[in-house]
Structure 1
């Protein structure tokens, strides 16, 4: 058995993050956040007369990656010492509020998804298909409200027994990652305990959620966060592609 091989029959449920784990939509999210925040900082600098540091890719990993959309906005604004009204999720994208900025980013993301579509990582598809053949219950646990649309665009919806996305979490009053509640909800859907479930995550906030919930196995998928950061957040092992997790025949 290879170093990264997991004995999947030992586990009762497998809980996947979506963006960056199953589909490469993390890149679309990164571009959407960068476009939105970069334009916002130019506007805010002119309004406040302060030269705010420009948005960088590291800001995505430090403040936004894996978090519910509005939490990401708040965290980034705090990093620049900027305070905006909270607003409402119904705010238009033009609103100068936390929710308005989050909705502005979502519009950019939706445009790119509709135009370009999405193709799942081949290694992720191989693992999902293998687990499906084993009859292993699988869930998507994503902070993104777009998760159902992304999964459908990738043609993978039927493999997953439940999609716990940002909108469902809000309806149920479940705190988002790095809290473990959304993962725990997915596990419970299958009648599985946290200790008998596997979490697969590419974001440090998601890995931290898996560790906070004392899940039996937390696997970090390094798509840019870095193996050290994932291990520090609580990953039991780190891979660069999910095909590394296939059991040898």
Structure 2
């Protein structure tokens, strides 16, 4: 399947949302930074070093479910908070409270600035489907469906495994492979016949752990070496580089 840049054994393609289909990764990073910086200033001046929206975002929160990202980052700073509950208010000093604060900020930023899709990805998706391959969106975001609708891309996916579905099915998030495995299962293909498209290091880890047939790293921020180190079979800056012209 050289016209798509994929092995001939691939029957389905599993796409991450933020940073692969839509230009929302930078908005997520900004919302996390605002959340964590305010918390760190309030929590302890000695530990108030600002959140690094590049390195720490990539290492601890990118691609992970919100609560997992909060736990990973706080652990890196030696901070322990009560778990709280999923419906904690955004000002609660709990893991879920911080996660909900971040989500409120994210939605506000999206409402203000809107969402854009990567045109190269949309063209590639159209080509993939024209060649008879099935497609799934796999995202830790609970806002996945609304974001897809906002860019007119919901129809490009046969299956959606997002934060809501993962919670309902009790699927651990990336870097665990369970959400991608669920997408492959819902599409009726073995992992070895599915390709994973990810920009997050946690997503690369999930692709490797799930023994998928091909893992494509999408490098939007100049981290090609890290994507390869975490399991990518190939790395591109835009999916248009893979081909897909109809």
TM-score range, shorter chain: over 0.9
Is 2:193–2:213's contact at 8 Å kept on the other side of the alignment?
yes
The separation in 1 between residues aligned to 2:193 and 2:76, in whole angstroms, is 37
> Which of 39, 50, 54 in structure 1 is aligned with 2:50?
54
TM-score after normalising by structure 1 = 0.94
Q: Which residue of 1 aligns with 2:182?
A: 185
User: Deviations for 1:106-132, whole angstroms, at most 9, x for unmatched residues?
Assistant: 000111112222120111111011112
Matches for 1:49-88 after TM superposition, within 5 Å: 50-57=46-53, 58-88=55-85
Deviation, 1:247, is 4.2
Name stretches of at least 5 consecutive residues in structure 2 with no aligned partner. Answer: none
Is 1:84–1:98's contact at 8 Å kept on the other side of the alignment?
yes
Secondary structure, counterpart of 1:15 in structure 2: strand
Matches for 1:2-21 after TM superposition, within 5 Å: 6-7=5-6, 10-21=9-20
The separation in 2 between residues aligned to 1:82 and 1:183, in whole angstroms, is 31
Is 2:123–2:244's contact at 8 Å kept on the other side of the alignment?
no
Q: Which residue of 1 aligns with 2:204?
A: 207
User: Deviations for 1:158-181, whole angstroms, at most 9, x for unmatched residues?
Assistant: 110111001210110111111111
RMSD: 1.7
Q: Which residue of 1 aligns with 2:116?
A: 119
The separation in 2 between residues aligned to 1:51 and 1:205, in whole angstroms, is 26
Secondary structure, counterpart of 1:214 in structure 2: coil
The separation in 1 between residues aligned to 2:60 and 2:187, in whole angstroms, is 32
Q: Which residue of 1 aligns with 2:91?
A: 94
Select between 221-230 and 173-182 the one with higher mean Cα deviation: 221-230
Is 1:207–1:230's contact at 8 Å kept on the other side of the alignment?
yes
Q: Which residue of 2 aligns with 1:234?
A: 231
User: Deviations for 1:173-207, whole angstroms, at most 9, x for unmatched residues?
Assistant: 11111111110110111110000000000001001
Name stretches of at least 5 consecutive residues in structure 1 with no aligned partner. Answer: none
Is 1:169–1:182's contact at 8 Å kept on the other side of the alignment?
yes
Is 1:74–1:98's contact at 8 Å kept on the other side of the alignment?
yes
Select between 91-100 and 125-134 the one with higher mean Cα deviation: 125-134
Is 1:202–1:225's contact at 8 Å kept on the other side of the alignment?
no
The separation in 2 between residues aligned to 1:153 and 1:219, in whole angstroms, is 25
Q: Which residue of 2 aligns with 1:40?
A: 39
Is 1:203–1:225's contact at 8 Å kept on the other side of the alignment?
no
User: Deviations for 1:69-128, whole angstroms, at most 9, x for unmatched residues?
Assistant: 000000110111111100000100011100000000000011111222212011111101
Select between 55-64 and 6-15 the one with higher mean Cα deviation: 6-15
The separation in 2 between residues aligned to 1:232 and 1:75, in whole angstroms, is 20
Secondary structure, counterpart of 1:95 in structure 2: coil
